[in-house]
Amino acid sequence: MMLKRFGRIGVVGFSGILLVWLSLIPLRLVMAAQQAPQPEAILVLGGDSNREETAAQLAKYYPDLEVWVSTGEAPDVAHAIFRAAGVTDERVHLDYRASDTVTNFTTLVSDFKREGIQHLYVVTSDFHMPRAKVIATIVLGSNGIIFTPVAVPSQSEEESWIRIARDGGRSLLWLATGRTGASLREVIESRASL
């Protein structure tokens, strides 16, 4: 009886702390928007070379912005895309730590904070943008980083709300624990192959 009561108190307490923490995200986004009204860098979510081509054109138009490509094309292909647009290799940071959309953000957010970046262009395909926006709001927003979406036209259908909700939940898991659940996929796949 006593243990059950303390368990409920713990759940209510944790939920309350999480709710307060989440309510701070809009405040942090407003502060970031005031401090950095214009994007200070470009983040490209890998998955289609059209995204990198769009980012290269954006970088050409904004020559002071550096570009981060998260798990995109192979280095030689990525650099060729940016060079073709007149963007030097020094401005392009290729990062291959991410294994999915959530980790596109979680693996780079500390790099953006270290660089003092508070506002990003986020480049991804139009069908992928709703999910990317949910994840970015949670992961970047909780770190005081605002974003401006740049949707690349595609022929794909918009993603289901289930995928969006799942990755929103994984982003909240990352906020609470520092883990995204991406490693669970490896465990599940290895057990399925037995």
- Higher pLDDT among residues 126 and 22, named by residue: 126
Asked if the model's pLDDT at residue 91 lies above 70, the reply is yes
Q: Output Rg (C-alpha) for the chain, integer angstroms.
A: 19
Mean pLDDT of 117-134: 98
Q: Where are the beta strands (DSSP E) in 37-184?
A: 41-45, 66-70, 92-95, 119-125, 146-152
Q: Give CB contacts under 8 A, 24+ apart, made by 29-32.
A: 29/137, 29/141, 29/144, 29/146, 31/144, 32/118, 32/119, 32/144, 32/145, 32/146
pLDDT of residue 133: 98
pLDDT of residue 3: 47
Per-range mean pLDDT, top range of 13-22, 30-39, 70-79, 184-193: 70-79
Q: Name which of 23-27, 92-96, 97-101, 137-141 the model is least confident about.
A: 23-27
Asked if the model's pLDDT at residue 191 lies above 90, the reply is no
pLDDT of residue 182: 78
Q: Where are the beta strands (DSSP E) in 46-113?
A: 66-70, 92-95
Q: Which residue has the tokens 């890998």?
A: 46
Query: Of 167, 194, 193, 192, whose CA–CA distance to 182 is shortest?
Result: 167
Asked if the model's pLDDT at residue 20 lies above 80, the reply is no
Asked if the model's pLDDT at residue 74 lies above 70, the reply is yes
Question: What's the mean pLDDT when you consider all of the chain?
Answer: 88
Instruction: Return all residues near 164 (Cβ < 8 A) that are at least 6 apart.
Output: 130, 131, 134
pLDDT tens profile 162-184: 999 999 999 999 988 888 887 66
Record the tokens describing residue 118, joined without a space: 């508070």
CA distance 17 to 45: 31
In DSSP terms, which residues pair with 152 in a beta bridge? 125
Write down all domains in the chain, each with its CATH number in brackets. Answer: 32-192 (3.40.50.1980)
- Higher pLDDT among residues 149 and 25, named by residue: 149
Asked if the model's pLDDT at residue 89 lies above 90, the reply is yes
Asked if the model's pLDDT at residue 70 lies above 90, the reply is yes
Mean pLDDT of 15-44: 73
Mean pLDDT of 103-128: 98
